[in-house]
Amino acid sequence: MSPDPDIGSSADSEIAALHRTIAALRLELERRRDEANAAASVAVAAAGAEIAQLKGTIDAMREELEHERANRDEIIREAHASSQDEVAQLKQSVANLRESLESAWIDSERRARELVSSAEDRVAQLQAAVVAVREELERARHAGESAVNAVRVQYRTEVTQLQATVVALREQLQGAPAGVGS
């Protein structure tokens, strides 16, 4: 028995239709993959720009902190030199005045150590924040465009908090030298 010519023709047309469907699906898959890759590239570029901005902010804050430390150290050195001159002039005065000066000097040293310790803690917090930001950016790169938007909001909040911390540190550091010399 020979196969029915209609069945063979029908099977050939179905196979041809399946081949066209496969080709169309393959083209659609490639188009969607290209769209996803383009969206991911945009998200990665935006995250990279955000990283660069955060690094710049952190570097600027680090430089400001170092500048403030140098100013504070100079003020402490000047205050110390001034107190040494006063000690030399006051050696002939009453013993209770000498004890009062020594007490003030010990207190200023304690405050200076506390300020240095506080500043080092702040630096450690900033470094931990940088590590956290880097880790979050890596997760965001894989999460897609919606995760990138959420990360941007979080980073803006952290930058605001870091800026507020820098302002608070600056106020503490600017207020500390006046107390050291008194």
How many other CB atoms sit within 10 Å of the CB of residue 111? Answer: 14
Structure-token match 């465009």, residue found: 145
11 part of a folded domain: no
pLDDT digits (tens, 9 = 90+) for 42-73: 988 888 888 889 889 989 989 998 999 999 98
Q: How far is CA 114 from the centre of its chain?
A: 25
For residue 55, the enclosing domain spans 44-181
20 part of a folded domain: no
19 part of a folded domain: no
Contact between 52 and 106 (Cβ < 8 Å): no
2 part of a folded domain: no
pTM (predicted TM-score): 0.30
pLDDT digits (tens, 9 = 90+) for 82-131: 877 776 675 676 677 667 778 888 988 888 888 888 888 888 888 888 88
12 part of a folded domain: no
66 part of a folded domain: yes
Q: Of 32-41, 75-84, 167-176, where does the model show the most confidence?
A: 32-41
Number of structural domains, the chain?
Answer: 1
- Dihedral-angle region of residue 52 (phi above 0 means left; psi in -120 to 50 means alpha; beta otherwise): alpha
Structure tokens at 52: 């660069």
136 part of a folded domain: yes
